Amino acid sequence: MKTKARFPWKAFLKSLAVIAIPVALQNLLTTTGSMVDTIMIASLGEISVGAVGLCAQFSSLMFSCYWGFVGGGMLFFAQYWGAQDEDGIDRSYGLTLTCMMTVAALFTGFALLAPELVMRVYTDKAAIQGIGVEYLRIVGFAYPMQIFSMAMSALLRSTERVRIPMFAAFASVGTNILLNWVFIFGKLGIPAMGIRGAALATTCAAAVNMLVILILSRAQGYPYLFQFRKHFRWNREQVKAYFVKCFPIICNELLIGVGIMVINIVLGRQSEQAIAAIAVFRTLEGLVIGFFAGFSNAASVLVGKEVGAGELDTAYERAKRLVALCGGCILVICLLLLAVHKPVLSAMSLSGESLEIGSGLLMIYCVAAVIRMCNWTQNDTYRAGGDATFGTVLEITFMYVLVLPAVCLTGLVWKAPFLVIFACCYIDEPIRFVLMQLHMYSGKWVRPVTELGLAALPAFREKHARGKRKT
């Protein structure tokens, strides 16, 4: 009787650590930099903290618009990397970069030419609007550089060059903190610029991040970023194949981004104390998301690479374990965050009512975050395996059928307490988790795009069909 082979935990955890730890450290570093930013801006008052927080929500909308191309691009990068198809990597990177820079041009235009319109959308508080306009008119110049860096980082991580983006993040965050001190408070002979100084420091840090990635990639002889002529050699079939796979991801990110914008509009019409608290919360939320990003990239690479190479059973077994490991790690991070949240919130300018609201936000979030990050990891796993539709349909459906109506009714119609409105943002997560788990164990998300993967698919499907018949 043939026994089932034991899962190679040691090799798996080693591969996971090589990818996840540098990415998590990079994001932790970036979040720490954001916390220092907030602490420095806090000296300018709660209204300034709230204004910068709402500008960050505009940046988050931009993130949603280009992240669909990142997710789709990483699907192709990882599978082509597993199949050692260099031409496929070059073409898919060129398409991804072109789409992402189109988004950069759009959001840069709004930030530089119509910042008043942007701020009126996010809040009805005139004092917050005025500060936000000043900030956007400068930080808008950072958007193209940030998106270009993100495209390069996605390619580097998908091809297992995770250290270059990490080193770039060190340089960028260090630059941001130093220049915040110089520009906000007027040091080293520079006049104090206040909120405009914070925006200028962010822009300079974006330039440093981009340049360090380019310099280190060139120094290490990394080929794919510099093969410009190969990046844009597409034919109609290649472009069609790219957008067929990317379209569900793009729709997901765009529609979810619009949904989140609606939620932020509702939250931005609450009290000034609540707006300040949510701005600080978003910074601390980055700690949790930063660790999740390590699992996200690991899912894309460790699963997508095996699918592309035709090792479909290995990809399936890895995917199941990535979700469990993600949930355990996020639980530990949330417990640590809860243990120290009060002194951290106080250091970031919250006091009195805003401190109470901030504490409540973190308690609600830490309960929901474990399930939410497991859902995100599963969705990234499906995308890496070639199934960009299932998680997309679930997330969009629950956002528009359940979450948005609940948030709008509690926030705008029933005028519920702020923490009740916030809790409604997560009411769909447990239901989606059950449905996502059922899809995970079905194996239907394994859909290769490479020849090696497609050749192995019939045997994989037959194996899972036999397993279902036995049960």
- For residue 204, what pLDDT is reported? 95
Asked if residues 79 and 450 have their Cβ atoms less than 8 Å apart, the reply is: yes
Token duo for residue 307: 């699918």
**Angle CA(54)–CA(56)–CA(57) in degrees, nearest 5?**
65
Q: Which of 122, 101, 114, 113 shows the shortest CA–CA distance to 57?
A: 122
Contact 221, 173 (CB under 8 A): no
Instruction: Please tell me the predicted confidence (pLDDT) of residue 1.
Output: 40
Asked if residues 156 and 164 have their Cβ atoms less than 8 Å apart, the reply is yes
Q: Are 359 and 345 in contact (CB under 8 A)?
A: yes
Please state the pTM of the whole predicted model. 0.71
pLDDT of 134: 92
Q: What's the DSSP call for residue 446?
A: B
Task: Give the per-residue pLDDT at 102.
Answer: 93
pLDDT at 246: 78
Tell which residue, 335, 282, 402, 379, has the closest CA to residue 37: 282
Query: What does the block give as tokens for 356?
Result: 């109470």
Binned average pLDDT, 10 residues per bin, the chain of 471 residues: 68 80 71 69 78 82 82 81 85 90 94 92 85 91 93 88 87 91 89 89 94 94 85 82 80 82 84 82 79 70 85 90 87 89 82 89 91 89 86 90 95 91 93 94 89 89 73 56
Q: What local confidence, expressed as pLDDT, does residue 2 receive?
A: 47
